[in-house]
Amino acid sequence: MSANATIDRPDVEAYLAAVRDELADLSPDERDDLLADVEASILESAEESDAPIAARLGPPEEFVAELRTAAGLGGAPRGRKLRRPSLGKLWRNPRTAAAVRVFRELAPIWWVARAYVVVAIVAWLNGEGRDIYPQEVYDLGPPHFGAVLLVLAVVASIGVGLWQRHRRAGRLGKPLVAANLALALLAVPLYSNAHEWLTNRPIAFSPEEPVVQAGLANDGVPVENVYPYSRDGRLLLDVLLFDQNGTPLYVRPGTGPALDPERRILHARDGAEVFNSYPIRYYEPGTHRVSRPYASPVVDWSPIATPPLPVKEKPPTK
């Protein structure tokens, strides 16, 4: 097993971190050479049993002391414990190791996000410091240049992330960490701009709800009356209109004596009121007389040349 191998055990990761911390006084190259085989041995020992690794190998301090003796390095320099960073214990905590493992699993998301941040910075510099929205990133430079640049940045960012994951960064470790922190801070205002852009931009392909017009309408304008004419230009009275389903057609549904007391309403033999008769006529106030039954608007009528259809005596009945 190689020294770069990992195992899904928080206590093992914390133990390895503690061992490396105990050797912090050595130079990086000297420490890496010393741990090249030791870390692999610790991982193999952890795979042999589920028992805590410290119970099998002893505390990290004692393990490193024996390692120093075997390598002829002697004990740790005096005062090194006092110079150890206070975050050492926190880093060796199993919960911290578990959290670090979760962040490593989520790292690919950040690789893609930081690529967008880098391209957004380029768009910001190109835009003379104005707010940067996703549309400005896409429209950067010539047509489709922003999209191509973003794809290349994502590929490069993923490549750097994989390189960091499988190799020790060495001297580049701290600069890379600093660069990631800076990009993470810049991602905050960019996220705010993206959220504002997504919230305020108009939604595409959102047809308006159709307005349902009660009764008959012509191009959205309510029809107040209907004037049927015969083929020879005579105004027809008391014509009953129905739709394709045999349903009566009303220009103003819900009208009746209570709402329209002057309207002339036809009555069927069974006494039912008929409201789909046209043209609608009105009585003179206080009477049951229509003074102008043939009144109508001026119409553009032309004589009909098409031969008439045969007349049926009675309409179909139920």
> Is there a single domain that holds both residue 18 and residue 50?
yes
- 169 and 118 inside one domain: yes
- Name the E strands within the chain: 217-218, 221-222, 239-240, 266-267, 273-274, 277-278
For the chain, give the number of residues.
318
Please give the pLDDT value at position 81: 46
pLDDT band per the 50, 70, 90 thresholds, residue 173: low
Please report where in the chains the tokens 């049927």 appear, as a residue: 228
Percentage of residues of the chain with pLDDT beyond 90: 2
Domain boundary residue among 67, 92, 117? Answer: 92
Domain count, the chain: 3
143 lies in some domain: yes
Q: List, for residues 244-290, the tens digit of each pLDDT value.
A: 888 888 886 655 555 677 888 888 889 888 888 899 888 888 888 98
Whether residue 57 lies inside any domain: the answer is yes
Check whether residue 123 and residue 194 sit in a common domain.
yes
Classify the phi-psi angles of 286: left when phi > 0, otherwise alpha if psi is within -120 to 50, otherwise beta: left
Token pair recorded at residue 32: 């890496």
Q: Residue 130 burial by CB count (10 A; 0-12/13-18/19+): exposed, middle or buried? A: exposed
* pLDDT tens digit sequence for 88-142: 555 555 666 666 677 778 888 888 888 888 888 777 777 655 556 666 676 677 7
Please indicate, yes or no, whether residues 18 and 61 belong to a single structural domain of this protein: yes
Q: CB-based burial of residue 236 (10 Å sphere; 0-12 exposed, 13-18 middle, 19+ buried)? A: exposed
Among the candidates 200, 228, 260, a domain finishes at: 200
- Measured distance CA(253)–CA(251) in Å, rounded: 6
Residue 229 pLDDT more than 80? Answer: yes
Given 150, 172, 200, which residue is the final one in a domain?
200
If asked whether residues 80 and 158 sit together in one domain, one would say: no
pTM for this structure?
A: 0.35
List, for residues 41-67, the tens digit of each pLDDT value: 777 777 777 777 777 778 888 888 888
User: What Å distances lie between residue 238 and 101, 268, 277, CA to CA?
Assistant: 85, 12, 5
Which domain, by its residues, includes 55? 10-92
